[in-house]
């Protein structure tokens, strides 16, 4: 059954009478992920879904909310629910909860990030385009403005690393690096707060860029390895300085 305006073909499904909204959300998720539907396609109306699943509209409403929490739909007032692409923040929030529950440290996260970034830079050397190099150069030109507000500088730092990840041509790797970089936003920011931190970050970002532009794989990997190593060291210096001030 398919109502006008919706591309989803929802086949009949037998529901148990417990956790109805969860079952419907799970089924709709399966339909969304396996059907030829695309981002921005409209879901059937709340009333139509209630009839198809033989449940009340509040149950459907709750199921749609679950899909929204999963980042699979967005709600437009007066129009309905539309398929959307899950944002990086959805993945980031899930990992962040796991980190807190399992007490995973920023240092462990940094180690994983280093593994991915070093693999990523190796891929990027052979695949990066002139347009991507121009984008990175533009980011670095802005980053080199030493009068930037702290949050803007950290945001540009993230943008630099995400641009490198996208240059690998591997969308999944870019997603992982982008997610980890976002999770480490506060951690990364500490490194540029110490004396000389901004100048060091500017210089090391440029070294990576020049190695990429020269398509020099060994130089690019070494520049990234040194950048990550020194960044971690700068964070430790910041934490030590902060600890001494509190005494």
Q: What is the domain range of residue 57?
A: 20-83
Same domain, 124 and 228: yes
Same domain, 77 and 199: no
CATH number of the domain to which 228 belongs? 1.20.120.530
Same domain, 69 and 142: no
Same domain, 76 and 111: no
Please, are residues 81 and 39 in contact by the beta-carbon 8 Å criterion? Answer: no
The tens digit of pLDDT for each residue in 47-82 reads 999 999 999 999 999 999 999 988 899 999 888 999
Does residue 89 belong to any structural domain of this protein? no
Q: Is the pTM value of this prediction over 0.75?
A: no
Same domain, 74 and 172: no
Please, are residues 40 and 72 in contact by the beta-carbon 8 Å criterion? Answer: no
| Structure-block tokens of residue 118 | 């070093």
- Helix boundaries (H) for the chain: 20-34, 46-53, 57-69, 88-102, 106-127, 130-143, 150-166, 171-183, 185-191, 197-213, 217-246
Same domain, 32 and 115: no
The tens digit of pLDDT for each residue in 103-143 reads 988 889 889 999 999 999 999 999 999 999 999 999 999 99
Question: What is the tally of structural domains in the chain?
Answer: 2
Query: What gap in Å lies between CA 213 and CA 209, rounded to an integer?
Result: 6
């Amino acid at each position: 059954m398919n109502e006008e305006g919706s591309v989803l073909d929802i086949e009949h499904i037998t529901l148990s009478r417990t956790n109805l909204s969860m079952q419907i959300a799970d089924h709709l998720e399966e339909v969304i992920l396996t059907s030829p539907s695309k981002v921005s396609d409209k879901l059937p109306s709340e009333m139509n879904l209630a009839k198809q699943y033989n449940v009340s509209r509040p149950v459907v409403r709750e199921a749609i909310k679950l899909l929204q929490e999963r980042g699979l739909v967005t709600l437009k007032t007066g129009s309905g629910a539309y398929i959307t692409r899950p944002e990086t923040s959805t993945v980031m929030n899930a990992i962040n909860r796991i980190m807190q529950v399992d007490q995973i440290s920023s240092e462990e996260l940094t180690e994983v990030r280093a593994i991915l970034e070093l693999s990523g830079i190796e891929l990027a050397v052979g695949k990066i385009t002139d347009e991507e190099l121009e984008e990175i150069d533009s980011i670095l030109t802005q980053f080199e403005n030493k009068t930037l507000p702290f949050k803007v500088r950290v945001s540009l730092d993230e943008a630099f690393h995400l641009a490198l990840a996208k240059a690998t041509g591997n969308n999944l790797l870019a997603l992982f690096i982008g997610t980890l970089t976002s999770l480490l936003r506060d951690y990364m920011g500490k490194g540029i707060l110490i004396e000389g931190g901004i100048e060091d970050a500017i210089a090391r970002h440029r070294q990576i860029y020049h190695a990429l532009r020269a398509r020099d794989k060994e130089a690019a990997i070494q520049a990234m390895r040194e950048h990550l190593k020194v960044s971690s060291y700068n964070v430790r210096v910041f934490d030590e300085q902060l600890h001494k001030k509190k005494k």
